[in-house]
Amino acid sequence: MRMDKDILKTPATDVEQILKTALTELGSTKNLDALNDWRIRYLGRKGIVIQLKRSISKLPEKERPKFGQVINETSKTLEEQLMKHETKISSSNDTSVSDDIDITLPGIPINNGSLHPITQTIREICESFSSMGFEIIEGPEVELDYYNFQMLNIPKHHPARDGFNTLWIDKQDDEGETPMLLRTHTSPMQIRTMEKQDPPVRMIVPGKVYRYEATDSSHEWHFSQIEGLAVDQGITFADLKGTLYEFARKLFGDDVKVRFRCDYFPFVEPGAEMAIDWNSRTGDNNKEENWIEILGAGMVHPKVLKAVGYDSNKYTGFAFGIGVERISMLKNNIDDIRLFYNNDVRFLSQF
Ligand code: FA5
């Protein structure tokens, strides 16, 4: 370290020169160790600034205030510059940290996750129907008996209610007009939609439904459906078949074979179920047929049209309800529906 006592020999010491030298030296410090040496040298307990302050008493009395002020300002400037330089060195030139980082190393892979397989299947089905002009809408999962059953031509004590093992929110009583329940199917949205709008109607409704059922490999107590409804003048059963066949081809490929059979739902007449021959997707005609039911459907019952105020002599329509989990199981070769909701990441991360 340079001996600074020489600088302080005379009262005429050029403080300005000291300041200049100090700042130049500060500017050339490149790391925190050098910076600390500088701080001790200029601002330490035995540093130059303290020595300058002590020299004030040796000056003629009238020079003391002015000199004191200059030294205080110099001290302040040095402290401010020290702080600034320290920040600069720490952020940009701290070799103890930056030397440890190898910026050429490949990054750590991030697991981005993916959409749930049922969400993916719902989106795929919705896309196929919106490309045919169907609007996508949603409805409530907590529903009224009125929409879930009564307006769908399933009055109280109708045997068809037994098929929809219902989870009730309100207690059922004989007088109660519209007790609440967890919807057992997406069909109530047929009514809610027709109540709100005049024909033509062309909509699909994806959503969760609930049934008080024991689970097994193909049954869950909560699952997803996609309802469909088209009402207009002149709609026939051929439109129903054509639309659903097109849907099957979009989802499973052009070679897929579909089969319609009679089925019963109180809100359609005639009613049908649609199945696909699972083996036909491969185009291999030698394989035995393997029919799997994927949805219920039918022509909207005139009683339902009348109940919502539509003229059933003028308008006709078709409706369908697709079981989404079953479709996803078929598409992804999944043999147990319960896997979807166990939330095992080893299963889910495959999609
Ligand atoms: C209905 O729910 C009718 N609302 C469908 C309908 C709509 C018919 C419009 C006519 C007109 P169903 O109970 O069959 O029908 O259920 C429809 C589909 O949901 C079934 O084909 C099946 O794929 C699926 N599904 C039914 N129960 C379960 C269950 N417990 N677990 C998983 N999927 C089920």
* For ligand 1, atom 15: residue with the closest CA: 296
Q: Are 5 and 50 within 8 A, CB to CB?
A: no
Which domain covers residue 177, as residue numbers? 117-348
Instruction: Name which of 305, 301, 302, 300 is nearest 319 in CA terms.
Output: 300
Residue 224 clears pLDDT 90, i.e. is over it: yes
Quick check: is 294 in a domain?
Answer: yes
- Residues 168 and 293 reside in one and the same domain: yes
- Residues 178 and 288 reside in one and the same domain: yes
* Cα angle, residue 240 at apex, residues 236 and 244 outer, rounded to 5°: 165
- Residues 77 and 132 reside in one and the same domain: no
- Residues 311 and 188 reside in one and the same domain: yes
- pLDDT reported for residue 113: 86
Q: What is the pTM of this model?
A: 0.71
CATH code, domain with 139: 3.30.930.10
User: Exposed e or buried b for every residue in 162-191, given b needs 16+ CB within 10 A?
Assistant: eebebeeeeeeeeeeeebbbbbbbbbbbbb
* Residues with a CB atom less than 6 Å from ligand 1: 185, 187, 211, 213, 219-220, 223, 225, 265, 268, 293-298, 319-321, 323, 325-326, 337
- pLDDT reported for residue 290: 83
Residue 317 clears pLDDT 90, i.e. is over it: yes
Number of domains in the chain: 2
- Residues 207 and 288 reside in one and the same domain: yes
- Residues 200 and 308 reside in one and the same domain: yes
- Across residues 290-304, what is the average pLDDT? 95
- Residues 75 and 158 reside in one and the same domain: no
pLDDT interval class at 2 (50, 70, 90) = very low
Q: Which atom of ligand 1 is nearest to the CA of 227?
A: 7
- pLDDT reported for residue 12: 47
Quick check: is 110 in a domain?
Answer: no
Quick check: is 99 in a domain?
Answer: no
Considering the chain, what is the average pLDDT of its residues?
A: 89
- Residues 184 and 246 reside in one and the same domain: yes
Q: Are 296 and 323 within 8 A, CB to CB?
A: no
Q: Are 142 and 180 within 8 A, CB to CB?
A: yes
- pLDDT reported for residue 94: 52
- Residues 327 and 236 reside in one and the same domain: yes
- Top mutation candidate among 118, 151, 154, 187 for ligand 1, by most atoms within 8 Å of CB: 187
- pLDDT reported for residue 5: 47
